[in-house]
Amino acid sequence: MRPLEFLMCCLVVPVSFALLAGMRLGVRETHLFFLLLLVVTAVHAIYEGVHWQLGPLYLAVALLLFVSLAVRAEDVAPVVALRGTGLVALLLTAASCVLCYVLPMFHLPTPTGPYATGTSLLCFTDTGRDTSGDPLSGEQQGKDAGGRPLMVQLWYPARPSNHPFAVYRRWKETTPVSSYQSVLRTRSRTDAPLFSHGGPWPLLIFNPAWMGQRTQSTFLMQELASHGFIVVSIDHTWYSGRVAFPDGQVTDASGAPDIGNFDHSTIEEQLALGSRYTRIEAEDDIFVLDQMLALNNDPRSQWYRSMDANRVGALGHSLGGAAAEEACYLDGRIRAALNMDGWSFGDVLARGLNKPLMLMYEKGTMMAPPDSELASLPEPAQRYWQMDRENRAAVEAGLRRFGGFRLAIDGTSHWNFSDRALYSPLRSRTGAGTIAPARAHAIIGQYALAFFSRYLRGTQEPLLSRRSGTFPEADFEIFRVAEVSGASAAAGVTGVRAVPREPAMRVGAGQR
């Protein structure tokens, strides 16, 4: 609970116990006490924001306020009525406490970098895109007739300011259950002035998971921004969760075929669908990169000369990780890619990526069954695990050919790479692994920071070269490469790495 919410409980509980015990409060004291409760509740509503988990507590406050207003000097309220009021108020307060435990107003980790962070929203429309071949309904195709709109959110190093802290998600982009996140504050200030000293900054493009949202990994966006990166996260229209546009339109992914669902599709069909989605999102990345660099070159823009066009990277979670790889493959301006627990599709799956690449995987929650058990699983599950095995084998072949890094974190699940692990302490609700969410986020943040610092800033990063005693949960593999400019040029990629014939080196959990 937040401070004023906790104070409300502290005011309601003792009075409720007093009523339950049959104690009679003086009229003056009663009115003064409940005036204080009313003031605290009003201040909470204004500064912290109301949310549905506290609905029962609000009812308890209303009930007690009603009782306080009904008390007069000549009134002699029945003891049974007073006790009933106290009992109901206690039960309502307890209900809110349980709801706030199950779905708390969670705290994002404090960024470890030297900079404060700001965040801003932008909307771009790609009027040159042909979406006729996209896997969308006719109604959605019609809405995209004027161009493909994209909402993006930036996190960046900011000057200290009094700008308000940004909410986690906008109300129109929440569901009834997640609506509380529209009053949950992050650690970044809305439209805070950019910290220009030390720029221009490297630029990173982030892609959320299938049906995810641009804010889904805010922990990582803020961490990278606090270390001097500008991060732009994209809501991929029709393939992300709820997205609200300036014109009032709200879209979601309900009309698109589900990726990863093998109930009525073959491996070949899922590969084709994943490749199509990956290409669409990669094209979104490239378009957004064009727009950001146009702002970077516009003297009228607040982003003028804030980004270094020669230091651009891409990252993403799940399907968004595949999109980051694909965008890196397609666009020479994107120099490095990070895929967090996602399959690969498209060109990268077929040919590999001859640029710096890091892959992060969950470890310990969704392990592939042995061959002896695979045949006994339902056919959709068999197809899922077969595709998973084939995908990982193809990705490893690419790593052995072009080099890169592979990290598996003990105790993590697919959703530990997002903020979702913070949504509830009940892992059955979040799908989080057994590792503490804060610990997983710290490991992910430090490895992502080291990777992009090395390949976009050229800094030496010990975390990428040897076993980490700080993170024993990290099962880290290095696929060795050599800097051979001639071979790189022959491969058609400037400034990337050729590969000597030597095996991968495993460090971390594998050598504990």
192-223 pLDDT, tens digit per residue, is 999 988 889 999 999 999 999 999 999 999 99
What's the pLDDT at 75? 55
Do residues 228 and 157 lie in contact, with contact meaning Cβ atoms separated by under 8 Å? Answer: yes
> Rounded to an integer, what distance in angstroms lies between the CA atom of residue 380 and that of residue 384?
6
Determine the average pLDDT of the residues in 93-103: 97
Q: CB within 8 A of 361, min separation 6: which ones?
A: 341, 406, 407, 408, 409
The region of weakest confidence among 186-190, 327-331, 483-487 is: 483-487
Decide if pLDDT at 276 tops 50: yes
pLDDT of residue 430: 92
For the segment 72-84, the average pLDDT, to the nearest whole number, is 66
Which of 134-143, 370-379, 407-416, 463-472 has the highest average model confidence (pLDDT)? Answer: 407-416
In 3D, which of 420, 379, 151, 124 has the Cα closest to residue 266? Answer: 379
Quick check: helix, strand or coil at residue 359? Answer: strand
- Average pLDDT of the chain is 89
215, 168 in Cβ contact below 8 A? yes
Give yes or no for a contact between 211 and 150, defined as CB atoms under 8 angstroms apart.
no
Q: What is the pLDDT of residues 373-415, one digit of tens each?
A: 888 889 999 999 999 999 999 999 999 999 999 999 999 999 9
**pLDDT given for residue 443 in this prediction:** 98
pLDDT tens-digit readout, 435-449: 999 999 999 999 999
Q: Are 509 and 489 in contact, with CB atoms under 8 Å apart?
A: no
What's the rounded mean pLDDT across residues 343-359?
A: 96
Eight-class DSSP state of 509: G
**Contact at 8 Å (CB) between 193 and 158?**
yes
Average pLDDT on 39-52 reads 96
Average pLDDT rounded to a whole number, residues 225-249? 97
- Model pLDDT, residue 143: 60
Domain chopping of the chain, boundaries = 3-102, 116-511
Strand pairing category for 243-244 and 201-207: unpaired
Average pLDDT (88-107) is: 97
Rounded to whole angstroms, how far apart are CA atoms 235 and 207?
7
Q: What is the pLDDT of residue 34?
A: 84
Higher pLDDT, 39 or 22: 39
Question: pTM, whole model, 2 decimals?
Answer: 0.89
For 481-505, what is each residue's pLDDT tens digit?
A: 644 333 333 333 333 333 333 334 4
| 83 — pLDDT class (breaks 50, 70, 90) | confident
State the first-to-last Cα distance of the chain, in angstroms, to the nearest integer: 39
What is the mean pLDDT of the segment spanning 14-36? 82
Specify the pLDDT at position 140.
57
Q: Count CA atoms within 13 Å of residue 262 on its CB side.
A: 16
381, two tokens: 């599950």
Q: Are 458 and 434 in contact (CB under 8 A)?
A: no
Residue 39 predicted with pLDDT over 60: yes
Best CATH choice for the domain 116-511 from the list 3.40.50.1820, 2.50.20.10, 3.20.20.60, 3.40.50.150: 3.40.50.1820
Q: Are 423 and 103 in contact (CB under 8 A)?
A: yes
CA atoms of 383 and 108, how far apart (whole Å): 37
User: Which residues is 334 bridged to in the sheet?
Assistant: 312
Query: What percent of the chain stands above pLDDT 90?
Result: 74
- Residue 371's pLDDT band (boundaries 50, 70, 90)? confident
Q: Which residues of 157-168 are buried (b: 16+ CB within 10 A; e: fewer)?
A: bbeeeebeebbb
Per-residue model confidence (pLDDT) at position 479: 93
Lowest mean pLDDT among 190-199, 204-213, 323-332, 462-471: 462-471
